[in-house]
Amino acid sequence: MTEAVVGKTRIGWIDVLRGFGVVLMIVGHVDFGTPFDRYVHAFHMPLFFVVSGFFFNLRKSSREYLAHDFGRLSFPIRFFS
């Protein structure tokens, strides 16, 4: 269930979780009723956070990581503001 993509290996069950999260996000934006919407909204965003945290690997110090992200994101933030 893994396939090589540009020298990297994909993990099949992670792709399935991501797809499931996308489907839940779409279903959550369709009005099926309040109880169903509350269940979906309580579930799909934490799923994305867990999946993204699974791949987070801090190889630099926190200061270097934040400086890199600030430098990378400061231009678009200033440009679009």
Residues 6+ apart with CB under 8 A from 12: 1, 2
Residue 3: pLDDT over 80 = no
Contact 13, 50 (CB under 8 A): no
Domain boundaries, the chain: 4-80
pTM to 2 decimal places:
0.56
Residue 46: pLDDT over 60 = yes
